[in-house]
A and B are shown apart, each in its own frame.
Chain A
Amino acid sequence: NAGVTQTPKFQVLKTGQSMTLQCAQDMNHEYMSWYRQDPGMGLRLIHYSVGAGITDQGEVPNGYNVSRSTTEDFPLRLLSAAPSQTSVYFCASSQTEYTEAFFGQGTRLTVV
């Protein structure tokens, strides 16, 4: 039972490059979300989705895009990476917004 799978685990980007962080879940969860974790701060919500075809912005959406073409996948795209996007990114899924969340292993992204 894979749960929530995030790839890659580590990534280094140059300023201005674009990339996609992948997130997939095999629990048929409707609700998926992306967070970033920075030193001295709690996790902050970037984008979320309540089901296939539906996405919405969280607290810190600027510089990121998402799509939800299937229930299983919720990729996060960095359009033009900036050093301020250096962070650890977590994808999470849950049956609904109000139920227990399952987290991926995280992606440590460094933008130089």
Chain B
Amino acid sequence: KNEVEQSPQNLTAQEGEFITINCSYSVGISALHWLQQHPGGGIVSLFMLSSGKKKHGRLIATINIQEKHSSLHITASHPRDSAVYICAVRSYNTDKLIFGTGTRLQVFP
């Protein structure tokens, strides 16, 4: 079993829909990252959080340390949100990042 599991693996949505991507992990962590990988391949950091909730524009990230779970929400989704979203956790023991395999999101007009 992977230490970082994302669900769903693939997600399609109509423009305007509310999107939720989930990340569960099995190790103790000091921080969790959400990354966006564009169709062209580049990776951009969206959030880094260790507790609570962060918001940037239409994106919201939450984390529940006790349940070892994080969610990334996209409100009023748009075709330009189409990308692969990657969850990564920093292991408390090794200090290294462990990456999930990503969730591929396609938003259609």
Q: What is the interface of chain A, defined by CB distance below 8 A to chain B? A: 40-45, 58-59, 88, 90, 92, 97-106, 108
Quick check: A101 and B42 within 8 Å, CB to CB? no
State in angstroms the CA–CA spacing of A103 and B43 once bound together.
6
Q: Which residues of A contact B33 (CB under 8 A)?
A: 101
State in angstroms the CA–CA spacing of A101 and B95 once bound together.
14
Q: Which of B14-22, B56-64, B66-74, B96-104 sits within the interface?
A: B96-104
Quick check: A58 and B96 within 8 Å, CB to CB? yes
Quick check: A106 and B90 within 8 Å, CB to CB? no
Q: What is the distance, in angstroms, from B87's C-beta to the closest C-beta of chain A?
A: 9
Q: Which residues of B contact A58 (CB under 8 A)?
A: 96
- B40 near A: Cβ within 8 Å? yes
Q: What is the distance, in angstroms, from B54's C-beta to the closest C-beta of chain A?
A: 12
Partner of A40 from the list B31, B48, B86, B101 (CB cut-off 8 Å) is: B101
Nearest CB in chain A to that of B41: its residue: A106
Q: What is the distance, in angstroms, from B14's C-beta to the closest C-beta of chain A?
A: 28
Quick check: B95 and A97 within 8 Å, CB to CB? yes
Q: Which residues of B contact A45 (CB under 8 A)?
A: 96-97
Quick check: B88 and A105 within 8 Å, CB to CB? no
Q: B2-41: which have CB < 8 Å to A?
A: 2, 4, 30-31, 33, 35, 40-41
Q: What is the distance, in angstroms, from A51's C-beta to the closest C-beta of chain B?
A: 16
Nearest CB in chain B to that of A108: its residue: B41
Q: B77-109: which have CB < 8 Å to A?
A: 86, 88, 90, 95-102
- In the complex, besides A97-B95, A103-B35, 5 extra interface pairs with C-beta distance below 8 angstroms are A43-B86, A43-B97, A90-B43, A100-B45, A106-B43
Q: Which residues of A contact B100 (CB under 8 A)?
A: 42
Quick check: B40 and A105 within 8 Å, CB to CB? yes
Partner of B101 from the list A41, A99, A106 (CB cut-off 8 Å) is: A41
